[in-house]
């Protein structure tokens, strides 16, 4: 396999170009399968792009073989939707709230339909070597980069702070820990050997954001309530 350092440099050059080039970037995801699959798997990995089914073509399907609790081998298929690094992930809806960008909305909708398509298509499951629909898994969405986290139309002073609140909330309550939201910088960090920011660190970042802005008039009572809830969560960790 090509040296990780070279892979990092080539991918970084691609994701920081001005034009959308997710198809080119997608080729590098085969080198970070461990980031995209939850279970421990053997070396027999199948990486399919533009995988067809009745409602369209899913960007990426990763098929791996794992051992179950009885040490029997089974196949899992993870569905991923890939958007360009040049796409914003969220946008400001007000000065105190973000909402998904048009690109994230589209990615979520595509992922739901592609997952449902494979889950209910027995012919596709047979082709993939899937014995039971439960072996079809949500992978997630890869989108954006560190300077494309939020389209700041409301001139929010600390838009990164709002991002640190919005992303974990969406992952926990909407994605229910089943769908991953990954940026292209997360991919780069993985190639460098860096781990994701833990939930505890994200909570601490959000608390720092609250402390920094707590004396500003634009912060609503709902933010004060959120800060109290997050502090209690930290104590229980």
Domain boundary pick from 163, 179, 196: 196
Work out how many domains the chain is built from and give that number: 2
174 with 192, same domain?
yes
CB 121 within 8 A of CB 54: yes
What confidence tens digit (pLDDT) does each residue in 189-228 have? 999 987 554 333 443 344 343 434 344 344 344 444 454 5
What confidence tens digit (pLDDT) does each residue in 103-120 have? 999 999 999 999 999 999
71 with 82, same domain?
yes
User: If 0-12 CB within 10 Å is exposed, 13-18 middle and 19+ buried, where does residue 98 land?
Assistant: buried
46 with 117, same domain?
yes
Q: H-helix or E-strand containing 150?
A: strand 150-151
Q: H-helix or E-strand containing 47?
A: strand 46-53
Per the structure, the complete domain to which residue 221 belongs is given by: 198-237
230 with 157, same domain?
no
Residue 200: predicted pLDDT: 37
145 with 161, same domain?
yes
Q: What is the CATH number of the domain that holds 78?
A: 3.40.91
159 with 237, same domain?
no
pTM above 0.85, yes or no: no
């Amino acid at each position: 396999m090509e040296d990780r350092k070279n892979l990092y440099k080539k991918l970084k050059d691609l994701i920081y170009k001005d034009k959308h080039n997710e198809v080119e970037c997608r080729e590098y995801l085969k080198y970070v399968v461990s980031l995209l699959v939850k279970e421990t798997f053997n070396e027999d990995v199948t990486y399919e792009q533009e995988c067809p089914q009745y409602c369209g073509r899913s960007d990426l399907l990763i098929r791996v073989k794992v051992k179950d609790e009885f040490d029997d081998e089974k196949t899992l298929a993870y569905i991923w939707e890939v958007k360009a690094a040049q796409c914003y992930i969220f946008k400001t809806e007000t000065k105190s709230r973000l909402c998904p960008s048009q690109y994230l909305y589209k990615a979520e909708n595509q992922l739901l339909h592609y997952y449902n398509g494979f889950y209910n298509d027995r012919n596709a499951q047979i082709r993939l070597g899937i014995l039971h629909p439960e072996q079809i898994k949500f992978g997630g969405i890869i989108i954006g980069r560190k300077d494309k986290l939020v389209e700041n139309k409301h001139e929010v002073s600390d838009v990164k702070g709002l991002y640190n609140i919005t992303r974990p909330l969406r992952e926990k309550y909407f994605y229910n820990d089943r769908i991953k939201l990954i940026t292209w910088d997360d991919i780069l960090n993985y190639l460098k050997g860096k781990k994701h920011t833990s939930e505890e660190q994200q909570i601490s970042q959000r608390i720092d954001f609250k402390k920094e802005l707590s004396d500003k008039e634009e912060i609503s009572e709902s933010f004060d309530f959120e800060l109290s809830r997050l502090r209690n969560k930290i104590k229980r960790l």
